[in-house]
Amino acid sequence: MSKGIIGIAESLHASIPKHAKPMKELLGMGPDAYTQPSDALKEIQDLIESQSDDGAAFIAINVDAFGEDDPKVAVDLMVEYTKLVRKWGKGVPACIDSSDDDVLIAGLKEWYNTDEDVKQPLVNSIKAYTADAMLPLKKEYDFAIVGLLMGEEAPTGPGGAHSVDELYALAKEIFDKAMEYGFTREEIYYDATAFPLAIDMPMTPGVGSFTYTAFETIKKIDTDSDMHGVHFSMGISNSCRDLPARKVGICRAYVEVAMRYGLDAGIVNVAHHFGESPADPVLVELVDAYAKMDGTMETMNDAMMLMGQFCASAKK
């Protein structure tokens, strides 16, 4: 392993407590906070510059946590932080990240609100049921997309979750619409959602793990001759949530296993350079067990045993 994955830097996110602190301080300092020197603004500058220096392909901006009571706050903040990434990102493009289309549109428009030459940004995320509202913007603005594999209707797969075939169908729907609006395969990233290993243990007979479903979905899309050439990204840090130890190691192992299925990008702490060197074989074995948990009792027992051993070792 040497090439690694396409790193979408995750740190400029209002839901990460460490980085939300200066963001919250700036929010309380008034409209000049993003242009007048302050300790909080210097902290944001250092954060953006460090992500660029660590090799980020994109610098993600997510301010949704500040817009829960008033969505317009998130719209305004996305504009401000898009300006800051353009100013201090050393040429690294923004990944404009929000669950609100209005926030996505505001960030995309601001990215190109300059006479400077800027690189193509990434817009995260587009769903099959929002695609017709967002994808026509391709005519005015050059951007790539992250397609979130989430349906508007309730999932009908085993155990009440989306099946591989359902997720594949959502990917195909996004792909077909993207082609109509002039996107290339290389401008499409799919997010099949990384689920925390700590709670990824379905108790319904015949139901596979979320990890199994996500990885098999990636493989199914990647082996489709029409869609071959698209990218795959996941929020890697979700995989280690609630585990007692070795979270970076688990993420490193998760990436290594996911790459076998076709993953080539990730929303990550880019300082860790995931995918560039082999992960701990013990942790790879653990993640691989979850990736193979297809609903049979044998694969579930294997994963439970390895997780038990991991948790026991974390207590020593």
| Residue 18 tokens, joined | 């460490």
Confidence at residue 310, expressed as pLDDT on a 0 to 100 scale: 97
Whether the predicted pLDDT of 174 surpasses 90: yes
Residue of 58 and 156 predicted with greater confidence: 58
Q: Residue 114's domain spans which residues?
A: 6-314
| Residue 109 tokens, joined | 């428009």
Domain assignment present for residue 212? The answer is yes
**pLDDT tens, 134-144?**
999 999 999 99
Please state whether the predicted TM-score (pTM) of the whole model is above 0.85. yes
Q: Are 141 and 184 in contact (CB under 8 A)?
A: no
Q: Which of 213, 290, 284, 200 is nearest to 246 (CA)?
A: 284
| Residue 261 tokens, joined | 């299925």
Confidence of residue 2 (pLDDT cuts 50, 70, 90): low
What percent of the chain has a predicted confidence (pLDDT) above 70? 97
What is the mean predicted confidence (pLDDT) over 28-55?
A: 97
Please provide the average confidence, as pLDDT, over all residues in the chain.
95
| Residue 247 tokens, joined | 């979270």
The total number of residues shown for the chain amounts to 316
**pLDDT tens, 205-242?**
889 999 999 999 999 999 999 999 999 999 999 999 99
**pLDDT tens, 187-209?**
999 998 999 999 999 878 889 99
Q: Are 190 and 233 in contact (CB under 8 A)?
A: yes
What is the mean predicted confidence (pLDDT) over 20-38?
A: 96
* Cis amide prior to 237 (ω within 30 degrees): no
Domain assignment present for residue 1? The answer is no
Distance separating alpha carbons of residues 52 and 48, to the nearest angstrom:
6
Q: What is the CATH number of the domain that holds 130?
A: 3.20.20.20
Whether the predicted pLDDT of 27 surpasses 70: yes
Domain assignment present for residue 73? The answer is yes
Domain assignment present for residue 14? The answer is yes
What is the mean predicted confidence (pLDDT) over 32-56?
A: 98
**Dihedral of CA 17/23/28/29: which sign?**
positive
Sheet with 144-148, strands from edge to edge, namely: 231-233, 188-191, 144-148, 122-126, 94-97, 58-61, 6-9, 265-268
Confidence of residue 75 (pLDDT cuts 50, 70, 90): very high
Q: Which helix (H) or strand (E) holds 32?
A: none
What is the mean predicted confidence (pLDDT) over 252-271?
A: 98
Whether the predicted pLDDT of 145 surpasses 90: yes
Domain assignment present for residue 251? The answer is yes
Q: Taking each helix axis from N to C terminus, what angle separates 17-27 and 39-53, rounded to the nearest 10 degrees?
A: 140
Domain assignment present for residue 124? The answer is yes
Distance separating alpha carbons of residues 306 and 127, to the nearest angstrom:
35
Q: List CB contacts of 55: < 8 A, sequence separation 6 or more.
A: 7, 270, 273
Confidence at residue 157, expressed as pLDDT on a 0 to 100 scale: 65
Domain assignment present for residue 163? The answer is yes
Distance separating alpha carbons of residues 62 and 262, to the nearest angstrom:
26
Whether the predicted pLDDT of 15 surpasses 70: yes
Beta strands 188-191 and 144-148, pairing class: parallel
The alpha carbon torsion through 215, 216, 218, 220 (nearest 10 deg) reads 170
Quote the number of domains for the chain: 1
- DSSP assignments along 155-209, one per residue: P-SGGGS--HHHHHHHHHHHHHHHHHTT--GGGEEEE-----GGG----STTPPP
What percent of the chain has a predicted confidence (pLDDT) above 90? 91
| Residue 302 tokens, joined | 């294997």
Domain assignment present for residue 294? The answer is yes
Whether the predicted pLDDT of 169 surpasses 70: yes
Residue 12 CB burial class (10 angstroms; 0-12, 13-18, ≥19): buried
